A and B are shown apart, each in its own frame.
Chain A
């Protein structure tokens, strides 16, 4: 048996996330959100790049977390993919804020409600 129980990092759950941690959450949530939407639409990264009027390498850098994602970037991707992104504020300030996709924001779907909040589960 080469696997044994380690520590419990319970303190982490109570810690208020720093700006860097929040940024990590935003970036990864955004990347996952775009990938999910591409899958739904059956669209490749190259096609997305064409729709955005950018090089495929630019999309790759964004979706691999390598690029500096700005609000401009988010707005452009939202417009291209109809992501329906809203910035919402958590009631609990200890919980991490999220970028949320809502069903009403999409024209072609009525039954999809997906949250990329990291606090669930």
Chain B
């Protein structure tokens, strides 16, 4: 059995027992919030999408065979020296600017020393007391029964560092690091550029705390994507979140002791981890106990957290400036150039599309929740009306994504292809039903919409000779209905149109079929 543990922040504590037993007492969520006010802190690691690593030229592809993207630098072989990836610094500055941070005019890398084999150097290159970006904020919106509510999340810092190798623990009853017989390490990930984004304490969120935490990570993810600095695949671990939670009694002023839940890597898990920790802390405090300051691990299957190791000694990283790397000193001109070149950011984009597409709060929320704004926008750019584009992405395509358990954007269909399907419907070349079959074909890899139409023979039958036969057959098969229509009951034509559609397997142009029926039965048209 194998499991994976996280990152360098494992620290250097040698011995530590679990601080609490397995069976945590949970207080009902609403009860907990009635008596306590949560304070949150979020540390998010984003793996940058650079082609090469932070301090060496090794490739960064995800999923490569173990130890195939390594070199003397990231393996810490003697005599090797790191050199900073300029694109990674640029990405860090751009994220800092997008988060409204100040950009340091001079800062250094520092060595974070610890003994843990996920870094062969026995230290991780990071930044300590001189982060590149400081004092920013990110506004996030949470849906409440009373309507959307905005929270400003203050950003403490954004700093640059390198990711660690991937450690798997072998043997032992639980497969966790404790009790493992030995571990095996793949250093492909060691040295991939990471940005760590740290919030200031987030207060006054009350019972919305789990949703605020989730909204923050979601907004940060969208921001990173909009900047194009990472593709942010949370399931591949390219965005990971450490969730700090503490409780103070309502009306109190002194923060409680916090726990830190490590490596939470989905939006839903962030929400659940905060919720669980609030309930657990309340249980400890209600019983007159003290919350232990510790690292905890989120359990995906149960939504609970379990104790990692106690933190007291773990802070002893003996940071010092890395003498192998010269300082980073972004010039004011360069920073302003980067600021001027920032793309439209998600919040501005939401405001714009809401106005341009005439959306209600709810309609915008549906798009945001489905992660569909960029897809719809691209479909609109490819020529589709926004209403149709929204309908396709939110209904048929969302359904397909759910069925296949992939994100909407991961569906193998492009906005341009969706726009083409919409155009074919608008031209009358496809019915909605046929259009869904075309989409199915595109998703199955049968080519562009026009190719699928051609190959599957899905064009609407609207030429009169082909339709006429089906119409004649429908009239012949339904003499009663035909008689009614002859007698002036034009509404009855629907039944015959239905029969024609059925006979043509949905490919008939319904409007034209109706016309032909009425003409043939002398009932106008």
Partners in one complex: no
